[in-house]
């Protein structure tokens, strides 16, 4: 299990929010933390510590008055750590290459592929061919409905009819390099991981998977490592001391390396 850092940008600022609170109307979200540092500051830190595979997420839609400010922050971060960060949020065939040219190692896609409640394989295949599957991460973030997890889109506001399960991951993996999965119901709450989801992901072996959502303690990390069979990478948001939380960045930055230490 490796640590994958994050830089979430909302209304032009680096923030940590409660994922399920995000609303396009009025560009609203419940905030856990608003940073006094810009995105480039975090990128330089991750670069200094040689942590790759972190992700920048633009939390405003392209239609928002803040989207330009989000992108300006993101571009500064990509320039500060070229080749070290992925970027997601409003990515589509028209802008994916521009973000890669700006220094992103991968683009992260959700709503462009999971649209109107279904997987659009025509879009997925075309984008994968356009930029190369080695540069594509699919965000299959999900929320629980009944006993199953379903992929959600449009900044986690809309349910699709697609289950987040091993069968779906098997259908998608030929077209991408990695999966990023936010457990949206616990995202930003630091209240514990989604155990059932972690167990599902622990059985997937065909490409890297990064889990985000609910990590609030070292016990949560130990549990994720156990349920995920040490296969799942992890993002820590609101609980990380970089974003005002109790978990020291210095203790988790080396997860999955020879300098890991103990959780």
Q: What is the pTM (predicted TM-score) of this model?
A: 0.92
Per-residue HEC secondary structure of the chain comes to: CCECCEEEEECCEEEEECHHHCECHHHECCEEEECCCCHHHHHHHHHHCCCCCEEEEECCCCCCCCHHHHHHHHHHHHHHCCCCEEEECCCCCCCHHHHHHCCCCEEEECCCCEECCEECHHHHHHHHHHHCHHHEEEECCEEEECCEEEEEECCCCEEEEEECCHHHHHHHHHHCCEEEEEECCCCCCCCCCCHHHHHHHHCCCCCCEEEECCCCCHHHHHHHHHHCCCCEEEECCCCEHHHCCCECHHHHCCCCCCCCCCC
**CATH architecture of the domain covering 6-252:** Alpha-Beta Barrel (3.20)
pLDDT in tens, 174-232: 999 999 999 999 887 778 999 999 999 999 999 999 999 999 999 999 999 999 999 99
Residue spans of the domains in the chain: they are 6-252
Residue range 66-111, pLDDT digits in tens: 999 999 999 999 999 999 999 999 999 999 999 999 999 999 999 8
């Amino acid at each position: 299990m490796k640590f994958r850092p994050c830089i979430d940008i909302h209304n032009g600022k680096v923030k940590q929010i409660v994922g399920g609170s995000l609303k396009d109307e009025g560009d609203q979200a419940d905030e856990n933390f608003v940073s006094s540092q810009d995105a480039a500051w975090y990128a330089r830190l991750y670069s200094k510590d040689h942590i790759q595979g972190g992700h920048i997420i633009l939390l405003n839609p392209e239609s928002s008055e803040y989207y330009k400010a989000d992108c300006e922050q993101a571009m500064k971060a990509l320039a500060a750590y070229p080749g070290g960060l992925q970027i997601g949020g409003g990515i589509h065939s028209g802008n994916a290459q521009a973000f890669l040219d700006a220094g992103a190692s991968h683009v992260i896609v959700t709503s462009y592929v999971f649209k109107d409640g279904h997987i659009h394989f025509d879009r997925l295949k075309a984008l994968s061919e356009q930029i190369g599957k080695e540069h594509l991460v699919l965000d299959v973030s999900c929320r629980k409905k009944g006993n199953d997890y379903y992929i959600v889109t449009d900044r986690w506001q809309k349910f699709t009819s697609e289950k987040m399960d091993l069968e779906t991951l098997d259908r998608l993996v030929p077209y991408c390099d990695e999966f990023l999965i936010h457990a949206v119901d616990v995202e930003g709450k630091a209240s514990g991981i989604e155990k059932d989801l972690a167990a599902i992901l622990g059985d997937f072996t065909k490409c890297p998977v990064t889990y985000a959502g609910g990590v609030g303690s070292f016990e949560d990390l130990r549990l994720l490592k156990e349920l995920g069979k040490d296969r799942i990478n992890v993002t820590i948001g609101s609980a990380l001391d970089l974003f005002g939380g109790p978990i020291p960045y210095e203790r988790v930055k080396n997860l999955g390396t020879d300098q890991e230490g103990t959780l």
